[in-house]
Structure 1
Amino acid sequence: MNVTQVFLASTLYGTATLAAALDAGCLPPAGRRILLTSNHSPAPEVTPGLDSMPGFAALRTRFDEVLDWNAVVAPQHPSAWAPRPEDVPLWERQLRRLWGLGRDRVELVVESLQVPPAQSLCRLFPGAAIDVYADGLMSYGPTRFRIDPQIGMRVRRVLHLDLVPGLEPLLLTEFGVRGELVPAPAVLKVLTELADLAEPLGPSTGEGAGDGSGEEPPALLLGQYLSALDLMSPDEEEELHAAMVRGAYEWGHRDLVFKPHPSAPGAYARRAVAEAGRLGVRLRVLDAPVLAETLYQRLRPALVVGCFSTGLLTARALYGIPVARTGTGAVLGRLAPYQNSNRIPLTLVDALVPD
């Protein structure tokens, strides 16, 4: 029987993780591989999707076809839509016809199995084996919500990066699911491929903006757009960015680069720019929507600073770059509810990264 693997991805970094897993032979052979992209932004109709991001064209070569999940469930939002149980047979027949699956045996490779769209897709193919991949820190914690055993028992393994050496993922262990590492050399190879293809960094803004090309490598500051997650107010987030500037200055760095979250308003860098001007340090605010890992290779920063970004542990584990955190304890102290998906990343960064 022919096998078709369907890979669900919503971010460029997640797609890079899938590409590395395929390059390293972590997944069994298949007659056909479909990359199913999903845009989770609040207004996906007006937000560029994954397939328009710089470097995506290089990653899509690992797949036979790229399809759009948003188009399948429109006008519903992919993060909210779930099928009614009685409609599942109809949906499976429709997707098999729409995607040309015929009687192929389907295997699914998804992230964030606890919530749509991954859980919805797994419900629509009740006979499909499932592999879960994790490109961040959430997999190190237990499963946040009860998973239907009809889904959980079909999961074969959790593919993950070795961001905390020696620590095993707890995700889905209640179903006896084993963790499996995506080899770091394969991940670095794919990330290097993306960095080599990335466009030149866009123009900078900021008081005394530097280009990170001086004798001393710059410190890289990572924004996360935490106010969009209701973890802090916009004013508090601007102050957090200013605190990153002060912290890097206190560590002796005078050439700084700030990478905002791609979805964050440009105004969120204003206080950081003002603080850099007050301290007399050079600050560059990047306009280009690039991966942090691309900047690690392009800029070779001397320090990476953030709140609880996965990029902090990526920098240390994969690139050997020193890292520092800012504001992590305050966010962790008021995080609610207890099973908030950010609790494990916050806890790990708070415990493992110096302030």
Structure 2
Amino acid sequence: MPHTTQIFQVSTLYGAATLAAALDAGRYGPRGGARRILLVSNNAALPETALRLDEMHGYGPIAGRFDSVISWNEAISPYHPSTWGPRGNDTTLWQRAFRLQWDIDERDMIELAVESIQVNPARALAAIFSEAAVDVYADGLMSYGPTREKLPLTIARRIRRLLHLDLIPGLKPLLLSEYGVKPEIVPDEAFRGVLDEISVEAADDPRLAPVLDEAPTAVLLGQYLAAINILSAQEEEDLHVRMLTGAVRAGHRSIVFKPHPTAPAGYSAALSKAAADAGVRLTVLDAPLLAETLYDRCRPELVVGCFSTAMVTASAYYDVPVARVGTALVMQRLKPYPNSNRVPLAVVDHLVPDLEREETPTVVGAAPETLSPLVRAIGFCMQPKTYPALRDTTADWLRTHLGDTPAYYFPAPRLAELRLPGSSPRARARVQAGRAKRVVGRAVRRGTRKK
């Protein structure tokens, strides 16, 4: 008799926690109703040297919700999860191989839950299990932005829903909306319950004890933006120092820095020097645990970051006031304009007080009326061919609000390229001239190759 096997693909503990909350909330039926496989993918550039998911505090309780755990890296070795995908003619062979390797009966139905459906490994899994229903889960602010790339209809038609956390109540995700995919909220109480489990499991980590002893009142979040070529390493070090300076100016004398897991040690050293110069206590927490565990254990009075999702979870699940630093700089550096970080940046820039302007930190609540139109206008400018229905509303919004909006949200060249309000005839002429040069250049290169 055929059964159902559910395959849950994860690459981060935060994503795994989101799926665990969805399971606890009954989004995948009762335990025992289907076989559940946790498929773990390590997408780091050098997976062999990166922190593994099973080394993170809280992994054990989450993995216990599944019937088996499988390594995607081992399954496709020696290929890299971010770059490998099956050739079109080989998908049937790969499905047979994985069914055999993972002990899935050839008659069993497959259901997939994946992250980032636009790229591998999610894209590869959807192609291999070509008859499977697909759920996409989003565990951060990127769910509010547009779909990065057009999906093949053979995949898009199989996506049943977008599972997401309600980080900004009232703001509806734009992701996958062009395919009619309905967003479905993972309940706050279920996710907070999973976070509490993780926190309890991490309580005995000896690296957490010095942090608790210092009783920090402010937490600084590192993101390692140099790794994705948005800032230089020096600029990112400076950004962390700016966070510290802002926290000190706000009256905090005991501060903890939670670096990005892949950040170099030099970042912490530069920050330590700045703390010593300012005469404040700084503790660097370089341990394999979520920032949310730190909030639960330390109960800070302030969380400072650039545009990390962990800033919003501090407010949404722990009622901690938050403040931002450096969003304008990072927004100006984002290239190309459709960069997926643009909407998360805009959301934080719009909602969270600027610490360097001495704005009062606040708990982020429900989305104000101004946020959704702004996000949709940015979404259209990022992916105009994907969301043509948003063109008129975007143009109307720009006519009314562009003068009151920071210039880095809607750069003049982008408005000119899309022929939207706010662009001058001269800017549009420059864009048209640039296009003409590129067309001529391509024609010349083609002609040269033929000779």
| TM-score bracket for the superposition, by shorter chain length | over 0.9
The one-letter code matched in structure 2 to 1:166 is: G
Q: Deviations over 1:29-62 (max 9, x none)?
A: 5420000000011111232321232221111111
Residue aligning to 2:273:
274
The one-letter code matched in structure 2 to 1:67 is: I
Identical-pair percentage: 55
Alignment of 1:121-200 (within 5 A): 121-200=125-204
The one-letter code matched in structure 2 to 1:91 is: W
Moved over 6 A (4+): none
For 1:188 and 1:113, the matched residues in 2 are separated by 25
For 2:194 and 2:11, the matched residues in 1 are separated by 17
Q: Does 1:220 align with 2:224?
A: no
Deviation at 1:261, TM superposition (A): 0.9
For 2:194 and 2:226, the matched residues in 1 are separated by 31
Q: Which runs of 5+ in 2 are unaligned?
A: 355-451
For 2:71 and 2:77, the matched residues in 1 are separated by 10
Contact 1:212-1:255 at 8 Å conserved across structures: no
Residue aligning to 2:349:
350
**SS class of match (2:28):** coil
Contact 1:201-1:286 at 8 Å conserved across structures: no
Q: How many residues align?
A: 350
Alignment of 1:278-293 (within 5 A): 278-293=277-292
Bigger relative CO (Cα 8 Å, ≥ 6 apart):
1
Contact 1:139-1:169 at 8 Å conserved across structures: yes
Q: Aligned-residue CA RMSD in angstroms?
A: 1.6
For 1:238 and 1:169, the matched residues in 2 are separated by 32
Q: Which has the higher helix share?
A: 2
Q: Does 1:62 align with 2:65?
A: yes
The one-letter code matched in structure 2 to 1:134 is: A
Deviation at 1:287, TM superposition (A): 2.4
Residue aligning to 1:106:
110
The one-letter code matched in structure 1 to 2:92 is: P
For 1:333 and 1:240, the matched residues in 2 are separated by 15
For 2:178 and 2:88, the matched residues in 1 are separated by 24
The one-letter code matched in structure 1 to 2:85 is: A
Deviation at 1:191, TM superposition (A): 0.4
Deviation at 1:277, TM superposition (A): 1.0
Q: Which runs of 5+ in 1 are unaligned?
A: 205-209
The one-letter code matched in structure 1 to 2:141 is: L
For 1:202 and 1:350, the matched residues in 2 are separated by 36
Deviation at 1:213, TM superposition (A): 4.7
Deviation at 1:217, TM superposition (A): 5.1
Residue aligning to 1:234:
233
Contact 1:191-1:293 at 8 Å conserved across structures: yes
Deviation at 1:328, TM superposition (A): 1.1
Residue aligning to 2:338:
339
Q: Deviations over 1:8-44 (max 9, x none)?
A: 0001111111111100101235420000000011111
Deviation at 1:202, TM superposition (A): 4.5
Q: Which moved further from structure 2: 161-170 or 266-275?
A: 266-275
Residue aligning to 1:207:
none
TM-score, with normalisation over the residues of structure 1?
Answer: 0.95
The one-letter code matched in structure 2 to 1:141 is: G
Cα distance 1:49–1:213, how it changes in 2: closer, same or farther (>3 A)?
closer
Contact 1:188-1:318 at 8 Å conserved across structures: yes
Deviation at 1:92, TM superposition (A): 1.1
Q: Deviations over 1:232-265 (max 9, x none)?
A: 1111111111111001011111110101111111
The one-letter code matched in structure 2 to 1:328 is: T
Contact 2:199-2:293 at 8 Å conserved across structures: yes
